A and B are shown apart, each in its own frame.
Chain A
Amino acid sequence: MAQAVIDPGVTKKRRSVRSIYPTWFYLPAGLLYVVLFAIPTFASFYFAFTRWSLQDVEFTGMQNFITFFSEPQLRTGFINTFIYGFVTSGFKVVLGLALALLLTSQLIARGYLRSVVFFPVLVSAIGVGITFKVLMDPFDGLINSSLATLGITGPAWLTDPQWALFSVALIDVWKGVGIATLIYIAGLAAIPTEYYEAAKVDGAGGWKNFRHITLPLVRPATATVVLLSLIGGLRSFDLIWATTRGGPGFTSDVIASVIYKQYQAGFYGLSTAGNVVLFIVVTAIVIPVSYLLNRREVER
């Protein structure tokens, strides 16, 4: 500032830059962000260490976290979060890439296929959840009655403790694979055809093309799919709540559903501790994965 007073020329130049792109343009968004997102996030790091009824706060140290990891049902939720996140994003990567390869090849009815794969993305999680709850009904559901006509006894899906979490993950993949496919289609379209032509000259065929051209060059798309589905999968709540509510027992609970259950039961401190655990889980997985995926890309 002092310098600006001495040299009026600089002031004028600076001011003009300032006035075209004013910092206060950040204000409206910043206000919402700070009040409804940043403050609650910071506050959660305090309330997670308390017994809290929204009116009264009592500091209890690590008690909530000890409870969180000592009660078997809460620990199940913790482990399930990882399983759910990795299973869904793994399936989405593999199926998304396979579908994208299929839908960018010479094929009849390509437009129809592309839209139909994307349709489930538009239905709300709760609508999809209810629909599949009926389709996966162990006795009358369409899936098991179709399997029965083929002579296969299907599992009890959402009501079988062994299958519940995996069933919800399957529904999640069904609903979300459309986005992964679209991202891969965009990624595949960005690969210059010259590479394939050169490979043809060199006599490389299908698998070699895929392994040495397609796979390395769709890496940005893979990074996007993996990160998006990990962020979504680790935080997933609505589909699980719409289908199993964490049941049977606690077998399909994840951290996000534990947070809701504790909130409903009025254990606000414990619920917030769950939020902090989820925060740590998500950042501890997503940040290294994103670093890894992006670093390799640069090295190449």
Chain B
Amino acid sequence: MRRRAKIRSVVVGTIAILLSVIVFIVPFAFIFLMAGKTPAEASLFGFSLPTEWALWENITEVLTIRNGLVVRAFINSTVITVLSVTLMVIFAAMVGYVLQRRRSRWNPTVNFLVLAGLIVPPAVVPTIWVMQALGIFKTIPGMIFIQATFGLSFCVLLFRAFVSTIPKELDEAATIDGAGPLRVFFGVVAPLLRPAMVTVVVVQAVNVFNDFTGPLYFLPGDENATVQLTLYNFQSQTLNQWNLLFTDILLITIPPLVMYIFFNRQIVAGMTSGAVKG
């Protein structure tokens, strides 16, 4: 019986591995192979090893195209990602904390707004209209605020759930010791929120870094391009340079992949939160 189970596990596992290679590994390998080819060879779309590896040449060419547009885009995307995620984490943690701790007549309203933020699609042109009135349309700070706003709801839900696992007595003890609300939150509660914070940071960093729709609407133009926009613009401009296009895909996929390798468990925790409780 045991033996049969083992044979079964090997057979099913082997089939699953074969299928996974076809369905999931081949597309990734394809990106890499295309990025290593010369323009002529890449335009054939074949799934084959490059006859002549040009990966390094392609990378340098992508990075120097139009005075280093891609490098600037990497800087822009990094700045937007880091700052918007910072805002999201701090602001959402404050909301999640008070929302969980304090029963008040505001709670139903706040809960409703959080869910609305998760479901309602942002109204594009009116948002641009508001941003123009504030003078932050087509600016990096504007994009940071937009990303922070659109990510708030998800973060609040996660923090609210996590705060409930921290004993309330801790805040009360700190208050009796004379700490003000800011000290209590940033000194006592925030450090204990660390696991949730890591999850939020990793999940949202990948989201913001990979976002295409946001920059397309709120940060158009080449001067402040983000990495996803460079990909989109290359697609329309360098029609025959498939090798460069795929080199760009390869380059901008590396940061999220590195994130995943280091924070695999936190990403999983964040994505699956709510699956058990519903």
A binding-site residues for B, Cβ under 8 Å: 16-17, 19-23, 25-26, 28-30, 32-33, 35-41, 43-44, 47, 52, 54, 102, 105-110, 112-113, 115-127, 130-132, 134-135, 137, 140-142, 174, 179, 182-187, 190, 219-221, 223-224, 231, 235, 237-238, 241-242, 256, 259-260, 263, 268, 271-272, 275-276, 278-279, 282-283, 286-287, 294, 297
Contacts and interface: CB of A to CB of B under 8 A. Distances in A.
B276 A186 contact: yes
Contacts of B95: 25-26, 29-30
A126 B232 contact: yes
Interface stretch (B51-59, B64-72, B127-135): B127-135
Interface string B7-37: 0111011101100100111111011001000
Interface string B154-182: 00100000000000000110010000110
A122 B275 contact: no
Given A16-B175, A113-B20, A275 B123 contact: yes
B242 interface: yes
Given A109-B13, A130-B235, A183 B275 contact: yes
Interface in B247-261: 249, 252-253, 256-257, 259-260
**List of 5 A-B pairs having minimum Cβ-Cβ separation, nearest first:** A220-B278, A44-B123, A108-B13, A124-B210, A40-B126
A174 B23 contact: yes
A283 B130 contact: no
B45 A134 contact: yes
Contact of B30 (A118, A135, A182, A263): A135
A39 B49 CA distance: 53
Contact of A20 (B129, B175, B256): B175
B50 interface: no
Interface in B227-278: 228, 231-232, 235, 242, 245-246, 249, 252-253, 256-257, 259-260, 264, 268, 271-272, 274-278
A28 B31 contact: no
Nearest to B94: A25
Contacts of B25: 116
Interface in B113-145: 113, 117-132, 134, 145
30 contacts: A19-B181, A20-B101, A23-B104, A25-B185, A29-B156, A32-B87, A43-B130, A102-B16, A106-B5, A106-B8, A112-B17, A118-B260, A118-B268, A119-B257, A120-B24, A121-B271, A122-B260, A123-B210, A130-B235, A130-B246, A132-B27, A137-B45, A140-B45, A142-B47, A179-B271, A187-B276, A221-B276, A238-B213, A242-B232, A275-B123
Contacts of B98: 21-23, 25-26
Given A25-B97, A32-B145, A130-B245, A294 B17 contact: no
B191 to A, nearest CB: 17
Nearest to A225: B275
A21 B106 CA distance: 13
Contact of B119 (A185, A237, A276, A283): A283
B111 interface: no
Contacts of A110: 13
A254 to B, nearest CB: 12
Given A26-B94, A54-B132, A279-B120, A21 B181 contact: yes
Nearest to A220: B278
